[in-house]
Amino acid sequence: MGKINDILSPFTAWKHVVNEPLSVKEPLKREGADRYRGFHKNEIDKCIGCGTCEEICQNAAIDMVPVEGKETKDGDSGLRPKIDYGRCCWCALCVDICTTGSLSMSNEFKWIDENPDNFRFVPGAENKPWDDKEKGWKKPDYHLYNPERVEMHELKPEERDKSFIEIIHGYSKEQALLEADRCVACGICTATCPAHMGIPEYIKAIRNDDLEEGLRILYDTNPLPEICGRICTHKCETVCSVGHLGDPISIRWLKRYIADQNPSDKYKEILGTENIEKNGKKVAIIGSGPAGLSAAHYLSLMGYSCTIFEKLPQAGGMMRYGIPEYRLPYESLDKDINYIQSLGTEFRYNTTVGKDITIEQLHEKFDAVFAGTGLHLGRSTRIPGTDHADVYQAVDLLRDIVLGNEVPVKEKIVVIGGGNVAMDITRSLARLQNQKYGKVQIITTSLESEDIMPADREEIVEGREEMAQIIPGWGPVSIKIEDGKIKGLNVVKCLSVFDEERRFNPKFDDNQTNFFEADMIVESIGQGMDLSYISDKTKENLKLDPRGRIIVDEYFRSSIDWLFVGGDIIQGPDVIHGIANGHKAAIGIDNFINNQNK
C-alpha cells in the first residue's frame, strides 16, 4: 500500500496547475509585519553595557565596544553592542535577555549597500533611518530570568522588638538555587564592589552546588564573608543589571549562604592554608577592624607573622562594638576572626598603642606597621544644651551595650542623625525601652529628607516596624532644659542639605519649627578619628590633607615609608572598603619589605 501511494502522490501536484500563482510584486517596497525582527535599535543612554546580549548570542554576532561620550562608571561599563549582520540570524534572543529593555529590533528588513563593513554597526551610536520607527520586535512581557527576588525569612516585629536575636534567617538550599538562577552573570556588580569580588563566579558555584569552590572564590578578595554576608552595604546590588526591570539579585544573602554552609573546621582544608611557610618577617597591625583583619589575613598567606594590637577586650572593631547583635551575631563575627587567627595571627587585647606601647617601639620591633583604627569618636552638633549629662554619643552607647556596661534608657529619647549608626542606636534603645517600660518612645530626626537619608532603606522600614518614630527633614536648633532636666529638642525645617556643587550647606525655613519631647538626647551625626596613638614626633613626618586625614599612596603607604594606614580613617566608612584597603595594603607592605631586603 505504501508503494502505491509513493507512485501516485507526485501526480496530486497537478491540481495546482490551474491555480493563480501567488507572488509579491516589488518585494523591496513591502513593509515588514508590526512585530517583524529587523535591524537593531538601542536606546544608548538606557543601555548600561552589561554584555548579556553578547553572551547569549550563539553566532558571535555581537561585540561590546567603547562608544564616544560613554564613560565607564558604577553600573555602566561604557561599552555598547556592535552588531555584525554577516553573523546575525535575527533570533532576537539579545532583545529578549536585555536587562534594561534598551535593545530592540525595527521591522525594517531592507538595506542595500555596496560596502560590507557598513553592515557592522553600533545601534544608537550610528544614526539609521529606522531609529524613529515604533514598529518591530521589543522585549516581551515575559523574562528569560525571574525578575522577582527570592525573599529571605525574617522575624516579625513582635518576635524581635524586645531582644537582640538575629532578625534575618539565611537562605535554604532551595531558595539559594532559585535566587542564583536569576543572575545573568554580566559582571557589572564586580566592577562596582570596592573589593572587586568574583560575584558571578561564586553565584555560579551555588548553581553548581559546589559551595567549597564558592568559598574559595569569596576568600580570593574577601576574608570576612560571614560578616559581609550580613552587614555589607551591598553597593553591588544597587547597580545589578537585573534590577533595572525587576528586583536586583540578593548578592549579599548569596554570599552569606556560601559562608554559612561551610563549617569553620574545614576552612583550612578547603582553602589550602594548612601549611603556610613563614618568611621570618613581622608586621604590627593597630586595630582589629575590617582593614586590620584583612591585612592580617593576606599578610599571613604571604608568610608574615602578624600581631594585632587592640585596645578593647575582643577583636572586630566597630563591627563588634558599633553594630548591634541582631544584625551581626557574635558567633558569625568570631567565625571569620578565628580563621584569621588560625593562620598564625596573634591578638594582643586591652593594649592601647601610644600608652601601653608606642608606635616608635612597634617600628623598632616589626618590619612594617599598618594602622586601621576606624572612627570611634562621636561628633557633636554643638547646639546649646549638648553639654548636658543626658546628651550622649551613639558610638559610646553602642560600645557600652556590647561591653555590658550600664546603659541609660530614659522613657522619652530623641536621636539626631540619619545614617546607619543612627538607626542602630535607635533600634537598640527601642529594644531596651521595650524591655524596661513595655513601650517605645523614641524619635529619630535628621537634616536629610527621607529620600536622601544615608541609612539603608531596610533599616528605616524595620525601625518603624519596631515602633520607633523616624521623622526626617528637621535641623536641631537647641536642647530645651528646665530645672536642670532635658525637656526636648527644638528643630527647624530643613529645606536642603547640599548646595548645587554637592557641598554640605544646609538651608532652613525659620518659620517652620517643631519640638520633640525627650528626657535624653543621642547624637549620631558622624564619627571622627582618634590619632592620639601617633606621637607628635611621628606626626611631624606625616603628610595630611586639608581635612586632617593622612595622605597615602595607592597601596596605603603614608609619607613615612614603614607606616601604612587604611580603613575608615582613610576611606569609608564601611566594611567592604576596609577589607579592600587591607588587601591592597598587604600587597604594599610585601613590596616594601622585599625592596628593603634587596
Section 423-440 average pLDDT = 97
Cα dist from 331 to 227, 266, 348, 388, 400, whole Å: 10, 16, 20, 37, 19
Same domain, 245 and 335: no
Same domain, 317 and 441: no
Same domain, 332 and 194: no
Domain that holds residue 343: 277-376+552-596
Question: Average pLDDT of the chain?
Answer: 94
Section 187-203 average pLDDT = 95
Q: Are 186 and 145 in contact (CB under 8 A)?
A: no
Section 566-591 average pLDDT = 93
Residue 447 covered by a domain:
yes
What's the rounded Cα separation, in Å, for the pair 379 and 485?
22
What's the rounded Cα separation, in Å, for the pair 272 and 270?
6
- In three-state secondary structure terms, 513 is strand
Section 291-312 average pLDDT = 98
Same domain, 385 and 372: no
Residue 398 has pLDDT above 70, yes or no: yes
Number of compact structural domains in the chain: 4
Residue 218: CATH number of its domain:
1.10.1060.10
Residue 515 covered by a domain:
yes
Residue 81: CATH number of its domain:
3.30.70.3270
Same domain, 114 and 246: no
Section 339-347 average pLDDT = 97
Same domain, 409 and 458: yes
Residue 287 covered by a domain:
yes
What are the φ/ψ torsions at residue 533 (nearest 5 degrees)? -75, -15
Query: Which of 10-14, 176-180, 310-314, 318-322 has the weakest average pLDDT?
Result: 10-14
Residue 310 covered by a domain:
yes
Strands annotated E in 70-201: 79-84, 103-106, 120-121, 136-137
pLDDT confidence bin for 475, thresholds 50/70/90: very high
Section 79-99 average pLDDT = 96
Residue entry with cell 505504501: 2
Instruction: Give the Cα-Cα-Cα angle 526, 527, 531 (nearest 5 degrees).
Output: 155
What confidence score (pLDDT) does residue 16 get? 66
Residue 545 covered by a domain:
no
Domain C-terminal end among 102, 137, 172:
137
Residue 176 covered by a domain:
yes
Same domain, 198 and 244: yes
What confidence score (pLDDT) does residue 143 get? 87
Domain C-terminal end among 470, 491, 526:
526
Residue 10 covered by a domain:
no
Residue 559: CATH number of its domain:
3.50.50.60
pLDDT, tens only, 478-527: 999 999 999 999 999 999 999 888 889 999 999 999 999 999 999 999 98
Same domain, 286 and 212: no
> Which has the closest alpha carbon to 274: 222, 342, 337, 346?
342
pLDDT confidence bin for 469, thresholds 50/70/90: very high
Section 273-284 average pLDDT = 95
Same domain, 488 and 566: no
Residue 498 covered by a domain:
yes
Same domain, 422 and 482: yes
pLDDT confidence bin for 5, thresholds 50/70/90: low
Task: Report residue 28 as a C-alpha cell.
Answer: 523591496
Section 116-140 average pLDDT = 94
Same domain, 233 and 257: yes
Task: Report residue 241 as a C-alpha cell.
Answer: 543589571
Sheet containing strand 103-106, strands side by side: 40-42, 103-106, 136-137
Residue 13 has pLDDT above 70, yes or no: no
Same domain, 84 and 165: no
Domain C-terminal end among 210, 238, 270:
270
Residue type, 245: L
Residue 7 has pLDDT above 80, yes or no: no
What's the rounded Cα separation, in Å, for the pair 324 and 424?
7
pLDDT confidence bin for 451, thresholds 50/70/90: very high
